[in-house]
Structure 1
Amino acid sequence: MRRTGRLTKAETRIRDADGRVRRVTASAPSAAAARQRLHDKLRTRPAFGRGGTLSADSPFPSLVALWLEDLDLQDLAEGTKESYRDLLRLHVLPAFENFMLGEITTGRVESFLKSQLALSYSRAMHSRSILNLLFGFALRNDALARNPVEGTSQLRKPKNTPQALTLEQVAAIRKAAAEWRTAPGLPGPKSDGQVRDLIELLLGTGMRPGEALALRPCDVRDTEQGMVVRVTGTVVFRKATGLIRQTHPKTASSVRDIPVPEFAAVVIRRRMRTLRPDEGERTIFANRTGGVLNPYNVRRTFREMVELAGLGDTGISLRWYRRTAATVIARGLGTDAAATFLGHTSSAITEGHYIEPDPTTDHAPAAHLERALRPTAPVPDALDSSGCFGEQLELEALFDVEDEAEGGDADA
């Protein structure tokens, strides 16, 4: 600090991000004013070596804008990118848009995540993930010295016991689906049976709803052992194009062959008979113009069917059919069989990555689902946790063999 004429000059030396030491000065009429002006100058000067793109004084929206530009260049599914953009726009940006990066402390992030957790565990987890990505980007650009998300509390997932449909619920919804909008004199279009058929397919294959809506005739083959369908896509909504059939399902392990029980195969064959030979790549479930069926309309119709069945207060959704198929297979054939049937990644990484897959299709799950969930005379203990269901199926198979040997009718 030195006096030069009427002004006092404050001076310091600072090492910049590029490692070089530089002199910084500021002058003012008084020593206190010169010192304050020097502090302001240090705080606002560009950070040499990083271009000054982001700093602790950058507003949060600037970080978001740069991160979104980087996101567009990343090799991610477009659906994932859209989810990130929506989460930022709807939840994260409104909470921090008035803060500078240096003002977003661990305490502020903790308070925000707790408010999200009070609404939904899923929303809180997604918000935490997106904040981690944002502040990781800020760290890589030398805007911050630490990630404020790192010190926040662990988000504890509330206990949630998966529920499967009971046989009584399956039968009640089947009846309601068959009767939905079939009464004479109702205004509006009659039922085209698509949702009625869809729930049979979901029950018999354990597909995700989007996968079932994306099924095409070219994905179906009838073999001597029974029908097999291959999951190759799913129906998704894109802001740029609207509803489309995506050419791949949710994950790589979701591409799979599914043996179909006869009660669901009947539905597929009936729907395929309404299509022309040149429509092999059109979805089996379609709107009036031949495009993919809207999942929103399907869910709305299904809710009306659930209400008609007197089950409106149960929370039953189309996802319950996937749980039901998984539960039946797990009870009778084990958890690994259910995971394979549903297209989940196996816990045996070695088997999944290093052993050549068996090209044959195991039709035992389809036979199991057929006996357990067929519309006529289903096995009553299919969803019972007593562990006797698998033994009952083995006894039934034995009795069938004995009936054939004695010349009797095995289906009687």
Structure 2
Amino acid sequence: MSRPRLELGSWGKITRTEISEGKWRARARFRDFTGKTKQREAYGDSGAKAERNLLKTLRAEVESAGDSITGNTTVTALSKVWLADPDLTETCTEQTIERYKDSLNQHVLPALGEYLLMEVTVSRVDRFLRTLAESTPGLAKTARTVLNGMFKLAVRHDAIRSNPVRDVRLPSKPKKPVEALTVDEVSALREGLRKWQDGTGYRGPRRGSELLDVVDVMLGTGLRISEVLALRWDDVDLGEHPTLTVSGTLVYLKKRGLRRQSHTKTASGFRILTLPTFAVEVLLRRSVEMIPTETNAVFPSGAGTWKWPNNYRRSLRDALKTIEGQGRISPHVFRKSVATLIDAEATLEAAAAVLGHSGTAVTSKHYVAKAAAAPDMSAILDRFGRSRNEKDG
């Protein structure tokens, strides 16, 4: 009876043989990606070590075959192929790919990297992701995205029949109500920020106008902090009809540091916004006080480079906590307040367009504070009032 044919990139049963005292050999039949089956062997000072050395050699041969993926490919090897796949590299930003690499190196590969693809089951992925979600739900979501992309690629290469990540669902978090500030609350907060900057009513020296200037531009445009700090004077038109063009954002890349990314988070984020009067006044004043820099940034750092969003965010959060006292207000509340006011006074579609969203779903779910409107049942409920009036009469 002939031996069963091995799949490409797979090997048969490993045998161990002691060939001399303290020297062992491990052997196995291996079918390479040309279809040829050959003996592969490795040595060690024990049978177990010889087998481990052989497995290391066999897996290295599979991994060196480039994008040839089989059920015997390790998750680590699959990750390398996936990171080089054009479907990823041509559709994701450098920042996104860097985040995926961090997820792989810090979470996915330490937990699953040594498994063969054929050994990765739905339950194994489910346990890993749920354990990660208990401590860091956001990181678990990224890890699921990474694993899903990797195993989609493995299915495309016929290495496995189905994607074990597809049926894994992360625990849902209770939806927090959207918190937005009213016009009066914004007015009070701006006054608090002004006093905090001037050093009146709050401990500390005069702090300059930078903090409130950025807040005012956010309130006048709905921009993210990283978008405001990426503004160049080329993006600002303070003519008869003042406008601002949102054309980029600041990102941090490990190998390149802080840089301006010359496109927005999404295609719909590239937009021109008409500026309200108070934002125009801020920008006019800054244009007069401007000192030319290489970046041409509207809000440069003291050294004339791009201002770090995290540093600004930290300063703003500290100021807000000092003013408000409880730390309830986050820097992102200004963007939500813009969306909520526009939705109330104009339309949800207008709010989505100003924020740079491609549709209204994200705007409605995450940015607009609004109670759900119940159906008008007043005519029916008036019957209670009529019965009361008849008795009173």
Would you call these one fold, judging by a TM-score over 0.5? yes
After TM superposition, give the deviation of residue 215 of structure 1 in Å. 1.3
Match of 1:192, SS state, is coil
Using a 3 Å threshold, how does the CA distance of structure 1 residues 183 and 114 change in structure 2: closer, same or farther?
A: same
Q: Is 1:195 aligned to 2:228, yes or no?
A: no
- Equivalent positions of 1:48-59 (< 5 A) are 48-49=34-35, 52=62, 53=65, 54-59=69-74
Answering whether residue 244 of structure 2 is matched by residue 229 of structure 1, we say yes
Residue 289 (structure 1) aligned with residue 303 (structure 2) = yes
1:324 equivalent in alignment to 2:337 = yes
Structure 2 residue 273 is the aligned partner of structure 1 residue 258:
yes
Indicate the SS of the match to 2:162: coil
**1:24-173 correspondence to structure 2 within 5 Å:** 41=28, 44-46=30-32, 48-49=34-35, 52=62, 53=65, 54-70=69-85, 74-75=89-90, 76-153=92-169, 156=172, 158-173=174-189
Give the secondary-structure state (helix, strand or coil) at the position aligned to 2:344.
helix
Distance 1:45 1:188, change over 3 A: farther
Give the letter aligned to residue 70 of structure 1.
Answer: D
Instruction: Output the CA distance in 2 between the equivalents of 1:200 and 1:110.
Output: 45
Distance 1:27 1:245 in 2: 57
Distance in 1 (CA, whole Å) between partners of 2:14 and 2:333 is: 70
Q: Aligned pair in 2 of structure 1 residues 275, 86: CA closer, same or farther (>3 Å)? A: same
Alpha carbons 2:133, 2:170 under 8 Å: kept: no
Report how many residues are paired. Answer: 326
CA distance in 1, matches of 2:246, 2:156: 40
Check whether the contact 2:238–2:284 (CA below 8 A) recurs between aligned residues. no
**Identity fraction in percent:** 33
Match of 1:401 in 2: none
Q: Select the residue among 252, 258, 261 that pairs with 1:243.
A: 258
Give a deviation string over 1:158-208, Cα, whole Å, max 9, x none: 323211123454234323322336449x99985232111101111111011
Shift of 1:283: 0.8
Q: Deviations over 1:82-110 (max 9, x none)?
A: 12111212222222134232222110101
Change (3 A) 1:267 1:138: same
Q: Is the 8 A contact 2:220 2:276 kept in 1?
A: yes
Query: 1:268 and 2:283 equivalent?
Result: yes
Q: Could you say which residue in structure 1 is the equivalent of 2:381?
A: none
| 1:59-118 deviation line (CA, Å, top 9, x unaligned) | 322222332333698213211211211121222222213423222211010111222332
Amino acid at match of 2:331: L
Q: Distance in 2 between matches of 1:163 and 1:270?
A: 31
Task: Decide whether the 8 Å contact of 2:75 with 2:112 is kept in 1.
Answer: yes
Q: Structure 1: which amino acid aligns with 2:264?
A: P
State the distance in 2 between where 1:47 and 1:85 align. 28
CA distance in 1, matches of 2:232, 2:93: 22
After superposition, give the CA deviation of every residue in 1:211-268 in whole Å (9 maximum; x if it has no partner). 11111222111343x4211111111112122111221111111111111111111111
RMSD value, Cα: 3.6
Q: Which runs of 5 or more structure 1 residues have no equivalent in the other structure?
A: 2-10, 19-23, 30-39, 349-382, 388-412
Is the contact between residue 247 and residue 271 of structure 2 (CA under 8 Å) also seen in structure 1? yes
Q: 1:292 to 1:57 in 2, by over 3 A?
A: same
Report the Cα distance in structure 2 between the residues aligned to 1:179 and 1:213, rounded to whole angstroms.
23
1:1-27 deviation line (CA, Å, top 9, x unaligned)? 6xxxxxxxxx42427559xxxxx9999
1:14 and 2:9 aligned: no
Encode CA deviations 1:332-374: one digit per residue, 9 max, x unaligned.
10101111111111369xxxxxxxxxxxxxxxxxxxxxxxxxx
CA contact (8 A) 1:202 1:212 kept: yes
Aligned equivalents of 1:288, 1:232: Cα separation in 2: 23
CA distance in 2, matches of 1:257, 1:385: 30
How far apart are the structure 1 equivalents of 2:216 and 2:159? 55
The alignment status of 1:346 with 2:378, answered yes or no, reads: no
User: 1:238 & 1:58 partners in 2: Cα distance?
Assistant: 30
Counterpart Cα distance in 1 of 2:149 and 2:122: 15
Cα distance change on mapping 1:280 and 1:231 into 2, 3 Å: farther
Which residue is equivalent to 1:402?
A: none
Distance in 2 separating the partners of 1:250 and 1:120: 24
Cα distance change of structure 1 residues 328 and 25 upon mapping to structure 2, 3 Å threshold: closer
Question: What TM-score do the two structures reach when normalised by structure 2?
Answer: 0.72
Contact kept, 8 Å, 1:117 with 1:123, in 2: the verdict is yes
Considering Cα pairs closer than 8 Å and 6+ residues apart, tell me whether 1 or 2 has the greater RCO: 1
Contiguous gaps of at least 5 residues in structure 2: 18-26, 37-60, 362-368, 374-393
Query: How does the TM-score come out when normalised to structure 1?
Result: 0.69
Distance 1:293 1:12, change over 3 A: same
Structure 2 distance, partners of 1:27, 1:327, is 69
Match of 2:324 among 305, 310, 322: 310
Q: Do the aligned partners of residues 264 and 305 (structure 1) sit closer, same or farther apart at CA in structure 2, a change above 3 Å counting? A: same
The worse-fitting range, judged by mean Cα deviation, of 124-133 and 113-122 is 113-122
Q: Which amino acid aligns with 2:257?
A: G
In 1, the alpha carbon distance for the partners of 2:178 and 2:203 equals 38
* Structure 2 counterparts to residues 372-387 of structure 1, below 5 A: none
